[in-house]
Structure 1
Amino acid sequence: MSTPATGMDTTVSDAQTSATSGKQTQTSGQRGIIAWLLARTKGVRPMWTLSVSSRVINQLLMVAILVMAAGACLGAPLVPAMAWIAGLSLVKAVFRYLEHYAGHWVAFTMLAWLRTEFYDAIVPQAPAVVKGHAAAELSERATRDIDRIEVFFAHTIPPMIAAILVPTASITWVGFHLGWSYALVMAISAVFMIAGPALGRLLSWQDNRDLAATNAQIATHLGDSIQGLREVLGFGAEEQRLAQWEQAEAHAETIRRRVRRRAAVRAAFLMAIELATLAALVGVVGAGDVQSALLACAAWVALWAPLRGVDDFVDGLDEALASAERVRAAIDAPPQVVDAVDASAPEVDPTAPTVSVSHVSFSYDGATDVLSDVSFEITDATWTYIVGVSGGGKSTVAALLARGWDPREGRITYRGVDIRRLRLDDLRSRVSLVVQRPSLLSASLRGNLTLSAPNATDESLWEALDLVSLGEWARSHADGLDQAITLDGSNISGGQIQRLAIARALVAMPDVLILDEAMSQLDEATAREVRSRIRLARPDLTVVEISHQVDRIDEDARVLVIDAGHLVEEGLASDLLRNEDGYLSRLARRV
């Protein structure tokens, strides 16, 4: 959970100060985002064309209907005029339906593709992707941000094209049939009605970027507060968290009010132009040509909808592009680890150490090393403990062994082969990592266990459950393997969640199992029972357990002590504990 005193304050400040730096590149930035979105539309362009052309025809028919209605009022034969109006209205309804159907088909198809691309992009970025982004913030990008992009696909391109083609065609008709003086007045007004909202976007773009960032941080804050509810209540931080949330909401509302004020000004500006243009068209009347003026007024009124189309999508477009920018940043972010060009399934050396870490240094930020020149070996079919104080680098070692990141210096080998030469899928099928706070799916018990091995048999699932002392518990439930597990295991205990995660890893039959504080919520008797059962059932399994519970380590176990990013001690626990001034002894005295 983010630190209560700083998380939201920093966010609001960042959102407030980003306006200055962002204005310099906003135009090129918007063009780049639009180009990025358009590049993904190749498969939907025929339907998009149908939507655009249907909108143009629909609005041209509206112009024709209003002009015919005005002509009927001025003395044209009523019955034929009404027949034409009725027929054109039916045709107009068909094209309006096609416009909305095709437009929303394009939008929702593109949103589905974007979500798929988003997921495909963040999978290879894991686990590094959650180092700088809270899960709630990533969910905000995958859901609400992508939803907001719908405006771009459904409500931007068709109105923009129609706002140019429909007035152009209509004003040209007015010029040829009613007089070019009327056409000139309408053309000038149309330019102002298109240009006004378009120029207004230059003011609202940065606001919408800040609003998107603030909304994401609000989602992160709420997600952190819910996930860490026990800590918030335990430390009496409810009021502080609420105050931070209210501060962020107040900042978001300030931006919304600014955007709404600009929208109101634009609306008043457009209405003034519409009414002034009507007055100007009447004023153009010459030689008593009232009929032409009224027909021109009817055509002008019919153009209000297509011309206002630009203003209608301005704020939504800015919000859509701001959200697209955030989605694009996640999709285009380079993975921390990738398969090497020559990655393969090389022959491993069965006589080599299962895992060898040689002179490894690593930094998350590229500046400060969290591991420095660490070297050790893990031999086959052993249970090795890595211990140390919090923040010393133990979990970083675990992540590097599973290749969540690559070391800055040095190398890590699996049975003699540099793990960077192994395909990621191959490596992670051999090396399984179970973290302290694992995630469970909202699915059945079977669905959670088979995540690591979709084709696993029920027999292997029951075996894994028995190894973690959950077999009896699962069998006591009427639905057995089909019993429901709620999201993140909220209907079971923390210890059961950890044991289910270990069982899930065991189902995959890994060669190396890394337990990163994966038994921290188990009582000592249960933890010993789980370790004993795994040793007996999987004697060839190599286990690396990261733990702070030094008092639970067997005396004959091998121990590595990591402190401040350095390997400071290693050996059998019994030997290390004889040195009262040693690191392990000092850790034991803290327990």
Structure 2
Amino acid sequence: MDTERHGTRVWVLLRLVPYLRPVRGRMIGSGVAVLGSMVCGLTIPLVILRILDGPVAARDTAALPWLVLAVAALGTTEAILFYVRRKLIVRPSTQVEAQLRMDLYQHLQRLPIAFHDRWQSGQLLSRAVSDLSTLRRYIAFGVVFLVVNTLTLLAGLTVLFVLSPTLGLITLICTAPLVLISTQYESKYSVLSRRSQDQAGDLATTVEESVLGIRVLKAFGRGRHLAERFAAEAKELRKTELHKIRVLAILWAAIIMLPELGIGAMLLFGATGVVEGSMTVGTLVAGITVATYLRWPTDSIGWLLAETNDAATACERYWEVRDAEITVTDPAEPKRLPAAGVGSLRFEGVHFRYPGAERDTLRGIDLDVRPGETIALVGSTGSGKTTLTALVPRLADVTAGRVTIDGVDVRDLTLDDLRTAVATAFEEPVLFSASVRENVALGAEDVTDAQVREALRIAQAEEFVDNLPWGLDTRIGEQGLSLSGGQRQRLALARAVVGGPQVLVLDDPLSALDVHTEAEVEHALRSVLKDVTALVVAHRPSTVQLADRVAMLDGGRIVAVGEHSDLLANNEDYRALLSTMDREEVST
């Protein structure tokens, strides 16, 4: 076995210790209860010895009832202590699982967009659900029994050596090889455990994609293709799980066989000793009873090692996400926006490079958006429009240069203050499985129904919302797929304006609207854009008409800034770009 890897896995499990501190009292109580039940279990054979070598051998039953009652009392106490152990451990184990899951969720919310671009949602889902369930089971059962069963084995062997060194030696000889066998198969199982958990994450991703994209799959008749992909991934997972079972089967065969051989050897030597007079019947029966009692601690070695490996793998996967660096954070000494702020937005020498990219996506952006002004960003695909808008609410941070609002660097503001001042509507409207009211109010705290309705009016969404079965209380299905594209986009737009932001960032918010609805939303937007500073990514000539000025991007640089009419008259590249946008709009 790789000692360094084993040490690393132990260290990974030890990282759970801070989570266990608040519940250590209950865990210690649970361990004490199990130890107490172990003592009761190991004491019963000693009482049996007294019965056989005392009242039975002497044919005197006077003390027999008391000894039998002692066995019954010990057995009852053992059962009660097991019940107490379960009662004590269930609450703390679920509490630790809940805290781990909460910390993971909060960490995911703070991680930069670049992280989520790299990770499959199914992998994150499997870590937040199945991996943490594995850790809960290990905390509730595995770690307790790993300690207690080890102590039980040591105590049981000690009792056997006290009863008869020969019986103790036989048991030790048959138990020692289990440690070597278990160690050999532990490393194989750990590799398979990690592989199966990663494959389960891939399978979850496939299921999620097929559910979210069900309309596309049905429309293009690709359901069978994805089903074949799912079947292939499920088959690979099954193969890994079967390989895990084969490894465990060999381990379990050894775990079951060796103790049985030990009991057979104990009967042989013990019976010979009884015949020769070197051992009493009570000692033999007590020794075999102790050895039988040690079967569970011995048999559990394979299960506990498998559970430990599963838990260590789950822990590794959990900390892979938790250790991901949060690059967008609140400043140590935050500033506040001026009380009389007007929403002036400036980009000063802005550069941006995605992690792992060879060159900058944005290269020296300088742009001044005056208070109350709307600037449309245009450019070919990949020119950096969406990246530029992401820097304003700090979905990512600039590589060089700075972005300011009313003269304050956005990195000097707390994220709460910044995202209260800046609202965003994305090209792909994301809605949640909640009511219309909850989806719209997501953009601001303490929003009243009147504010929600005003935002819906601005987004030209009030009429269709009122026509929904329960109005504002109508629950929207997952991703809002029960609504049309235009309806989803209008709700996302209402969410952006409901909080009355100073700066509004719109990433082509009109792309899913039909011509009639687009004209209505544009009319409403004109009124709201008069009061805010706005940066609008435009893929349609009609969207450009909303802006006071237009900034044209090419290759990560701003190559032209001016009013639409001036650029149209004097900039050949702008005319060419606009004609392309015209053709795309006609084709759609």
User: Is TM (by shorter chain) over 0.5?
Assistant: yes
Alpha-carbon deviations, 1:460-486, whole Å to 9, x = none? 111111111111222334533222222
How far apart are 1:202 and its partner, in Å? 1.6
Question: Does residue 264 in structure 1 map to residue 249 in structure 2?
Answer: yes
Q: Which runs of 5+ in 2 are unaligned?
A: none
Provide the rounded CA distance (Å) in 1 between the counterparts of 2:340 and 2:445.
29
Check conservation: 2:135, 2:315, Cα contact below 8 A. Answer: yes
- Counterpart position of 2:497: 506
CA separation of 1:269 and 1:351: change in aligned 2, threshold 3 A: closer
Q: How do 1:41-440 residues align onto structure 2 when only pairs under 5 Å count?
A: 41-65=20-44, 68=47, 75=56, 79-176=65-162, 178-285=163-270, 286=273, 287-288=276-277, 289=279, 291=281, 292-345=283-336, 347=338, 350=341, 353-440=344-431
Larger Cα-atom Rg: 2
How far apart are 1:452 and its partner, in Å? 2.4
Aligned residue identity for 1:144: S
Check conservation: 1:387, 1:550, Cα contact below 8 A. Answer: no
CA separation of 1:304 and 1:384: change in aligned 2, threshold 3 A: same
Aligned residue identity for 1:573: H
Provide the rounded CA distance (Å) in 2 between the counterparts of 1:482 and 1:60.
60
CA separation of 1:151 and 1:474: change in aligned 2, threshold 3 A: same
Check conservation: 1:558, 1:570, Cα contact below 8 A. Answer: yes
Q: Secondary structure at the match of 1:436?
A: coil
Aligned residue identity for 2:378: V
Q: Which moved more, 1:266-275 or 1:556-565?
A: 556-565
Provide the rounded CA distance (Å) in 1 between the counterparts of 2:148 and 2:507.
59
How far apart are 1:134 and its partner, in Å? 2.9
Question: Does residue 483 in structure 1 map to residue 474 in structure 2?
Answer: yes
Q: Identity of counterpart residues, as a percentage?
A: 24
How far apart are 1:188 and its partner, in Å? 3.5
Q: Which moved more, 1:225-234 or 1:503-512?
A: 225-234
Aligned residue identity for 1:60: V
Provide the rounded CA distance (Å) in 2 between the counterparts of 1:520 and 1:134.
26
- Counterpart position of 1:4: none
Provide the rounded CA distance (Å) in 2 between the counterparts of 1:252 and 1:494.
37
Check conservation: 2:175, 2:259, Cα contact below 8 A. Answer: no
How far apart are 1:357 and its partner, in Å? 4.0
How far apart are 1:541 and its partner, in Å? 1.2
CA separation of 1:325 and 1:514: change in aligned 2, threshold 3 A: same
Check conservation: 1:159, 1:310, Cα contact below 8 A. Answer: no
CA separation of 1:357 and 1:518: change in aligned 2, threshold 3 A: farther
How far apart are 1:530 and its partner, in Å? 1.8
Q: Secondary structure at the match of 1:522?
A: coil
Provide the rounded CA distance (Å) in 2 between the counterparts of 1:573 and 1:24.
68
Q: Secondary structure at the match of 1:360?
A: strand
Q: Secondary structure at the match of 1:385?
A: strand
Alpha-carbon deviations, 1:410-456, whole Å to 9, x = none? 21111211111111111111111222223322222222222222311
How far apart are 1:404 and its partner, in Å? 1.0
How far apart are 1:348 and its partner, in Å? 7.6
Q: Secondary structure at the match of 1:139?
A: helix
How far apart are 1:71 and its partner, in Å? 6.6
Provide the rounded CA distance (Å) in 2 between the counterparts of 1:243 and 1:236.
13
- Counterpart position of 1:578: 569
Aligned residue identity for 1:414: I
How far apart are 1:368 and its partner, in Å? 3.0
- Counterpart position of 2:443: 452
Alpha-carbon deviations, 1:205-253, whole Å to 9, x = none? 1111111111111211222232233333444433432333233222222
Check conservation: 2:510, 2:543, Cα contact below 8 A. Answer: no
How far apart are 1:550 and its partner, in Å? 2.9
Q: How many residues align?
A: 569
Alpha-carbon deviations, 1:499-529, whole Å to 9, x = none? 1122112122211111113221111332232
CA separation of 1:24 and 1:97: change in aligned 2, threshold 3 A: closer
Q: What TM-score do you get using the length of structure 1 for normalisation?
A: 0.90
Alpha-carbon deviations, 1:91-119, whole Å to 9, x = none? 11211112222222222111001011112
Q: Which runs of 5+ in 1 are unaligned?
A: 1-21
